[in-house]
Amino acid sequence: MNQVLLIGNSAIEDTLSFKLNNDSSIENIFICPGNGGSFTKKKSINIELNLKSRKEIEQFLSKNRILYVLNSSYNKMTEELYEVCKQKNIPIIGISYDKIKFFNSRILIREFLKKYNIPSFEYEIIDSLKSLKEYSKNLISKKILHTDYQKGFKGIYVLESRGQAMKLIDILKPGLKEDSRFIIEPYNKYEEYTAIIAYDTSSYLLFPVLRSYPKAFDNDYGLYTSGMGAFAPLNSFTDEDIKFLKEKIIEPVLSGLNTEKYTYSGFLTFHILKHANEIKCLTLTPSFTSPEIETISTLVSASFNELFLSLINKKIKEYNLLLNDMYSVSVVLASKGYPLDVQKGILIAGIEKSFENIEIFHNKTLMIFYSKYRGYITNGGRILTINCTSESLENSRKLIYNILDRGEIFFDGNFYRTDIAEKYCNLKTKQSIEAD
């Protein structure tokens, strides 16, 4: 019996379980802790497992034949899980516990990019909350602020004026420490893109590059989030851009990670910015990101189980994505107040409906049971990713927004961006993607 264990409760795990459910060789998909999306999938089973208890982990792994562990929410990885899996020779796809500190730090990553001459932005480091306040008092031009602790684009803010900067610090202060560190860089008008690779420590496979939308509101207004939408494929990256991305960013990063002994077998996300013909790397995430994986997954016809086994067996160069000739668009439905404070426990309507060419991926939702009734409630900021895959970008957008604008999927206080992929609808060129 082939069974797998996914770690996390985000839309990433819901997406991976969606893909694995379609694989006949997989019997069960255990997800710790999982979310409400598991109740829509036959093979997916949410479990409660204390990942800091060696005893509980050993008991679970002894009882179940786990083919591999998918460490897709890498911050939930524990030393105990890592050590027990190592002892039992169960492969973990993703970074080991000892590498998390590096990837959690924007400062360490920026220093890494600078050391290995990878195109990025000039920056300065602010080493305390007090110093940030002093800097903000003397702000004379628009800047971008990054908190050291990173989670995709979340934790990135625009400092527009002295007054706005001081107000922002007051808002952020409860979640910061006096010795918190920050990055300050010049304001830029670059567009955000995401490039994801599968890497087996010797070869890598590049997935289609995505256009990403991290700002909360239309026209790139509002705070940065972990992602409000994405689409692929696209023409914004030409073949020349892909060549530059591989030769000047991806391959030097992999070489540098190997030198610094940060290499692992799994997925690596490059958060990249592009303006005209200039491409820069902003930061790295050692896993899939959301809503990018939701968007990519519906373009890949090949088995995801075979993808993961290719990583384990160091045969990623032999894996073929088998991309379909479709366009995938994802729009995130978020709670009012996101990415700051949000209300939880709000009932979600319409989530169990079936829609043409639509997949609904859950992010931290909960299933509730009352007598004969069952339903889903919110449990975070980003709640659902609505994905549509069809023969054209225009149709994919249309089908999603028809559903959302009519309120067919709805919860009180929800919001979403209405401009995902809008200005790209008449652009038809697709990228050519291959393994390296």
pLDDT of amino acid 432: 44
Mean pLDDT of the chain: 93
Per-residue model confidence as pLDDT tens digits over 249-291: 999 999 999 999 999 999 999 999 998 889 999 999 999 999 9
Tell me if domain 3-98 and domain 122-186 are identical in fold.
no
The CA–CA distances, whole Å, from 240 to 195, 236, 296, 416 equal 15, 11, 22, 33
CATH for the stretch 3-98: 3.40.50.20
Please report the pLDDT score of residue 237 as a whole number.
Answer: 84
* Closest by Cα among 427, 417, 418 to 394: 427
CB-based contact 28:52 (threshold 8 Å) = no
Domain spans, the chain = 3-98, 122-186
Q: Which residue has the tokens 């639509």?
A: 358
pLDDT at 369: 84
pLDDT of res. 19 = 97
pLDDT at 435 (0 to 100): 53
pLDDT at 171 (0 to 100): 87
CA 57 → CA 32, 49, 74, 308, 409, distances in Å? 11, 7, 17, 22, 38
Burial of 117 (0-12, 13-18, 19+ CB in 10 A): exposed
Which residue positions in the chain have pLDDT lower than 50? Answer: 429, 432-434
pLDDT at 176: 86
Q: Which CATH superfamily is domain 122-186 in?
A: ATP-grasp fold, A domain (3.30.1490.20)
Q: What are phi and psi of 181, to 5 degrees?
A: -115, 155
Do the beta carbons of residue 109 and residue 283 sit within 8 Å?
A: yes
